[in-house]
Amino acid sequence: MPKVRSRQEKQIRNNGSAIDMARIPKHIAIIMDGNGRWAKKRGLPRVTGHRAGVSSLKECVRQCSDLQVEVLTVYAFSTENWGRPVSEVKYLLSLLEEVFEREVRELHENNVRVKVIGKRENLPASTLLRITEAEALTAQNTGLVLNICFNYGGRAEIVEACKALGREVKAGVLEPDGITEAMLSDHLLLKDCADPDLLIRTGGEMRVSNFLLWQIAYAEIFVLDVFWPDFRPEHLYKAIADYQGRQRRFGKV
Ligand code: IPE
Ligand code: IPE
Ligand code: MG
């Protein structure tokens, strides 16, 4: 496990905004947006931005492990992203494979448990193989849980849960009026994790783009104007410090 730095050191690295190590969000979710604009600003092809974004993710995983965040869930490819040019989609699929092949050993050594969240059906066999290998290798790890949402859509996830409940009703093991929020939650892809406490979106856009629609009901949202390839530890600390300054009421007073 990476060494946990002292609270004092964290305060220095966060440029003055104190992070309370006793109140670190347990589950952080990130919409890693702005790769294309990052590349465009430099006169480079969009895919260069996706490649550059991998380094930001690597560092972010390291920092979250270090801060003892329990779960980090990142949005890497949405069900709507299939609508992008074929060349970009192909690049993103092969990038996932490449990153898994290159990084999974180090993640394993750092006790990170990797899970890929999303529909598996229309993924190429080679991508599926890398995913199952990475999940199997890290399945027993007890450190940070890293959920990579790939071919993920929040609405699709809820529809699948409804279908599962519908099948139970049809089988006569469940009454329609007996369906509860907890039952629906239990059929979602992130059923093993508590809901995100903090949702970060880079790239400046104030929207959720079909990410974890059910689970972010009470997440604190932090939007950064920084493009994902420029996301650095100080931005993570800034988001956490901001989160710690908020009063979460969950509808109460
Ligand atoms: C996010 O960056 C990564 C994916 C959606 C795969 P974008 O590719 O959406 O970058 P922008 O938002 O166009 O700049
Ligand atoms: C959300 O970003 C999806 C990912 C970061 C993977 P998009 O770029 O696809 O979202 P929109 O199109 O701006 O809503
Ligand atoms: Mg985008």
pLDDT by 10s per residue, the chain, length 253: 444 455 555 554 555 568 999 999 999 999 999 999 999 999 999 999 999 999 999 999 999 999 999 999 999 999 999 999 999 999 999 999 999 999 999 999 999 999 999 999 999 999 999 999 999 999 999 999 999 999 999 999 999 999 999 999 999 999 999 999 999 999 999 999 999 999 999 999 999 999 999 999 999 999 999 999 999 999 999 999 999 999 999 999 9
pLDDT value of position 17: 63
Delimit the domains of the chain by residue range: 23-153+194-243
Q: Choose which residue among 33, 51, 87, 225 to substitute to test ligand 1 binding: the one with the highest number of ligand atoms within 8 A of its C-beta.
A: 33
Closest alpha carbon to 54 in 38, 32, 87: 32
Going from the Cα of 65 to the center of ligand 1, the distance in angstroms, rounded, reads 25
Nearest residue (CA) to ligand 1, atom 6: 77
Residues 42, 129: Cα–Cα separation, whole Å: 34
pTM of the model: 0.95
Could you identify the atom of ligand 1 that is nearest to the CA of residue 40? 14
pLDDT of residue 1: 45
Nearest CA to ligand 1 atom 12: 34
Tell how far the Cα of 22 is from the centroid of ligand 2, in angstroms.
Answer: 32
Asked if residue 227 has its Cβ within 6 Å of ligand 2, the reply is: no
35 lines ligand 1 (CB under 6 A): yes
Contacts of 208 (CB under 8 A, 6+ apart): 31, 154, 199, 201, 216
∠ at Cα 162 (79, 194), nearest 5°? 75
Please state the three-class secondary structure of 91-110 as a single string. HHHHHHHHHHHHHHHHHHHC
- What's the confidence (pLDDT) of residue 18? 83
> What does the pLDDT read at residue 110?
98
Ligand 2 atom at minimum distance from 81 CA: 9
Cβ–ligand 2 distance for 209 under 6 Å, the answer yes
Query: For helices 46-66 and 86-109, what crossing angle results, to 10°?
Result: 20
Residue with tokens 């991998």: 54
Three-state secondary structure call for residue 16: coil
Catalytic residues: 33, 81
What's the pLDDT score for residue 2? 46
pLDDT of residue 6: 56
**Has domain 23-153+194-243 been given CATH number 3.30.465.10?**
no
